[in-house]
Amino acid sequence: MNKPSDQRSRMLVIILTGVSLVLWCYLFRLFLNGSAPLEGDAHPYLGHVRFYLENITRGVYPLWNPIDTYGNVNEFFLRRIGEFNPFFWTIVFLTKSGVPFLIAYRLFLVAYFFMGIAGFYLLSRQLFGDRLASFTAALLLLFSCIGASTFESFLLLEIVPFIWFSYFLVAFMKAPQKVFLLGAVFSLMVINITYIPFYFYTILFIFLICFFTVYGSRIGVAYRQVGDFIGRHKVFPCLCAVILVVSFIPGILWYQQTRQGEALTMQRHNGSQDVNSTSVSINKVNEGGIIPNFIFDRQFVDLDMVGLHDFYVPLFAYLMLLAGVWGRLNRRLVVFFVFGFMIFLIGLADASYLHRFLYDHVSFFKYFRNVQFFLWFAILPVFILFVVEQMLIFIEDCRQSRVDRKWMTVWVVMVHVFAVGLFLFKHVGCLTYAVIIFNLAWMLGRIWSVGSSRAWVLLLWGAIILQPFEVYSHIAVDYPPGYQHPYAEKYVLSPISLEDGEKTVHFKKRSKTDMFRQDLPYFSTRWLYEAMGSIDGKTLENYLGASFIVYDRVEMITDKSDPARLRASLARFDNIAFVYTDTAQGGDGLGLPKARVITAADKDFEVLKFDANDVVVRTSFTKPCFLVRTQNYHSQWRAFIDGKPAELLRTNICVQGLWVPAGEHVVRWQFGTPARYVLAYFLVVLYPFVLIGLIWLWFRSRASIQKLPI
């Protein structure tokens, strides 16, 4: 390719990249403009992000969520989203600019995904050193199911830092520079604050084994390079190591907290023998796993039924995979293959022996399930890289002798005829056939060097994007409006009207009653689960619906006591509270038969301050009273009366109570320790600071990055 033609091809690639991004936005327009609801896990994650941002922008780091299931430990949800991720601040920026939160959140998701695509492009550039190959890799990832999962899953929050870490790691190993080290450390920091960094560490470990097995001689080179770098920049690597270690702390604290078993995910933990409340039993893990038949079932037939959560890669990848089977093997392909295959075996759960071995011998395998997510996290990206490597070998093989090219032509035509035959009886749309034609034209053009480089780029682009257009345009059209989930937890669909045969389903905000009538909460305090097991839903709902309750008398019971008396007492709001220690028993019980439910400020009770972790009230009772706050009890709640620590008791199975003396007092409830907040605010500041440092280093090193050896 001569220079002007190269320039024109480059320009064409840039234009096609822009068009592809616009097309992607068009395909998912209903999700972008808010017409279609977020599905699956994406929906609760939106809630977690919103709750966090709304609090942190008010200066409150929310360790407790007073709204969720009558008070819940929020750390679990913070770990899910990785709250310190500085890119969340773009949502704040957008909302402050007047964009509605729901739209701002979707825009963030899309921008974050595009950032991941950019990272994948750069990673491919590092691996292949070829613009067209990188463009192909990025395009395949863009139109794969990873893009669709943006609106259905949380996977994106993990995949994007995965990709960027891979890029920075490869770049650092090629040319050790500060910017790459900081980039890799920052990506790790983002991964470490998520609840389940175990997917990543499994992938990284398996990759390193595969890489150094195939490229054994590189171990020494890598060791020397890293050693030289540390020798040249002593302070910088140490600083990186320190911030990396700091990023592990929230996860470690969360791990320690879950060992106490005060808050748990009942569904996940059910059947596990481990003391840690986030552990999952092997049976639970085995309910999931990759289903190979199901994946391929969705790839080639009924493309109009592909959903957001279905595994999908554009047809081009499979055509290239088949067309390239006679390509020459190289070490890179072997690494991709072995790595992908090992991860695949782990992802099969009990269908392969590898997962069971790891579950038994690697401790962190007990803390995550859904091993099928490895499909998205590793197998899909590595499959794309494998195919692109095959494409490069294919292009290289096109320079072979005329006889070899004849054989290539025969094979390529056979593959495409096979593809047509495969689809002929499967009722796919015409665009899938168009892909086959485009791909055949592109491959024959490359084999016989017919057509210009720009024509090849255009044909390649068409061969990649046409089928996704067919697949994902159905999602936009067929998406059931208002549909969330068959077992909706946050929202329910209104009952179908038998009278007028109404077809449309609508959203209806879930009432409090539904929570108790339906399934147990996904994650809550142990005490709420116990209360739900002992007390009927209606009674519990009524009781917990009252914010503050004042009692005159307190009696001790045990967790083994017959709950009938307690149940009756709660149902009638009797003027007696039940605690689980004998030190707090007392009270005259001479007051009214019913407890006093405080529904508004009164002359002897006033709320002075309220946020997620901190509640302050002023009381001026005429006699000592037992004040119950109907938030779930947790040992990290501390109470103070006039600034002095007071004993906070678990009361009526699941709520908080304390004795308040007569006269004017200020009662305060605080969740968590000051040190925990100091750490949190430090990390809130640290993450954006590191990101800014990374961007600054990037621009400062731009010239050397462009000259990076490929």
Partner 1 sequence: MAMVSFKSVYTKIADLIFRRVIFLFLIGIVLSFLLIDQGKLDVKTINTMLPSAVDIREFAYHPAQMDKRKIRNMLTYYKFVCDIMGPDTYDKPAACGIVGYAYYYLGDEKKAIDYLSMANKNYEHFFWINYNLGIIYYNQEHYEQAMNYFLQAKDAYPYTVGFLVTTRTYRHIAKSLKLNKEGLQQSLNQGAEYLKKIYSFSALLMQDPTFEKQFEKKKVDLRLL
Q: Which residues bind partner 1 (CB under 8 A)?
A: 267, 270-271, 283-284, 286-287, 289-294, 297, 302, 304-305, 307, 324-329, 333-334, 337, 341, 345, 348-354, 390, 393, 478, 480, 483-488, 492-496, 498, 501, 503, 505, 518-519
CB of 340 to partner 1, least distance (A): 9
CB of 117 to partner 1, least distance (A): 26
Tokens (6 digits) for 75: 């750390």
Tokens (6 digits) for 194: 């998520």
Contacts of 685 (CB under 8 A, 6+ apart): none
Nearest residue (CB) to partner 1, 111 versus 413: 413
Which SS3 state, helix, strand or coil, does residue 100 take? coil
Whole-Å CA distances, 120 to 86, 136, 168, 205, 311: 20, 11, 11, 20, 19
Nearest residue (CB) to partner 1, 361 versus 503: 503
Nearest residue (CB) to partner 1, 500 versus 562: 500
Nearest residue (CB) to partner 1, 65 versus 265: 265
Whole-Å CA distances, 1 to 447, 454, 670, 671: 16, 11, 69, 66
Nearest residue (CB) to partner 1, 446 versus 629: 446
CB 515, CB 492: distance < 8 Å:
no
Residue type (1 letter), 566: L
Please list the alpha-helical segments (H only) found in 375-401: 380-397
CA 247, CA 193: separation in Å to the nearest integer?
A: 6
Whole-Å CA distances, 33 to 27, 260, 477: 12, 43, 14
CB of 170 to partner 1, least distance (A): 22
Please list the alpha-helical segments (H only) found in 215-265: 218-232, 235-259
Nearest residue (CB) to partner 1, 500 versus 582: 500
CB 89, CB 104: distance < 8 Å:
no
CB of 361 to partner 1, least distance (A): 17
CB of 350 to partner 1, least distance (A): 5
Work out the number of other CB atoms within 10 angstroms of the CB of residue 629: 24
Nearest residue (CB) to partner 1, 28 versus 605: 28
CB of 351 to partner 1, least distance (A): 4
Nearest residue (CB) to partner 1, 352 versus 620: 352
CB of 427 to partner 1, least distance (A): 8
CB of 461 to partner 1, least distance (A): 24
CB of 28 to partner 1, least distance (A): 18
User: Considering only CA atoms, which of 520, 634, 563 is closest in space to residue 270?
Assistant: 520
CB 660, CB 95: distance < 8 Å:
no
Work out the number of other CB atoms within 10 angstroms of the CB of residue 289: 21
Nearest residue (CB) to partner 1, 180 versus 423: 423
Residues facing 509 on adjacent strands: 491
CB of 282 to partner 1, least distance (A): 12
Tokens (6 digits) for 544: 């917990």
Long-range contacts of 17-22 (CB under 8 A, 24+ apart): 17/135, 17/138, 17/139, 20/139, 20/142, 20/143, 20/461, 20/465, 21/114, 21/142
CA 659, CA 442: separation in Å to the nearest integer?
A: 80
CB of 395 to partner 1, least distance (A): 14
Instruction: Quote the Cα angle for 30-34-37, to 5°.
Output: 85
Nearest residue (CB) to partner 1, 131 versus 356: 356
CA 629, CA 547: separation in Å to the nearest integer?
A: 6
CB of 338 to partner 1, least distance (A): 9
Nearest residue (CB) to partner 1, 533 versus 545: 533
Rg (CA), the chain: 30
Nearest residue (CB) to partner 1, 114 versus 407: 407
Which SS3 state, helix, strand or coil, does residue 533 take? helix
